[in-house]
Amino acid sequence: MTESALYLLLADAILVAHFLFVVFVVMGLAMIYAGYFMRWRWVRNRWFRLLHLAAIAVVVAQAWAGVVCPLTTWEMALRARAGAETYAGSFIQHWLQSILYYSAPEWVFVLCYTLFGVLVAASWFIVRPGAKLQ
């Protein structure tokens, strides 16, 4: 395997990790609220809920600070080191990037991340972690 192929492989791995992070945050909230109605005990697990809250808190903080996600920065650096254009390349890269990255004014992202963070915070009161089902 050439050095540039290794960098591209690592960049794709970071892209997959980034996608899985987004899935965890979005689907985690959907599962918390679904679990409330379906009476699933696991959605009240304190560790899951803390990890979920921390994940969206990092996203919201980065958005308000105007900081680019470190995973994006790391992925782009690896692609540049491989001599590849950003957002052009492998099958995995093509499809995951079309899902993760889209164009909108910065304030739209800040607003969306903040509102989503509010929904996650509200879930702590609606679907209390560690509370016993009645």
The contacts of residue 44 (CB under 8 Å, 6+ apart) are 35, 127, 128, 129, 130, 131, 133
**Helical ranges in the chain per DSSP H:** 3-38, 46-65, 70-81, 91-100, 106-126
Q: 117-130: per-residue pLDDT in tens?
A: 999 999 999 999 98
Contact 10, 78 (CB under 8 A): yes
Give the model's pLDDT for residue 134.
Answer: 60
Residue range 43-68, pLDDT digits in tens: 999 999 999 999 999 999 998 998 88
The 10 Å Cβ neighbour count of residue 100 is 15
Model confidence, pTM = 0.82
Cβ distance 15 to 96 under 8 Å?
yes
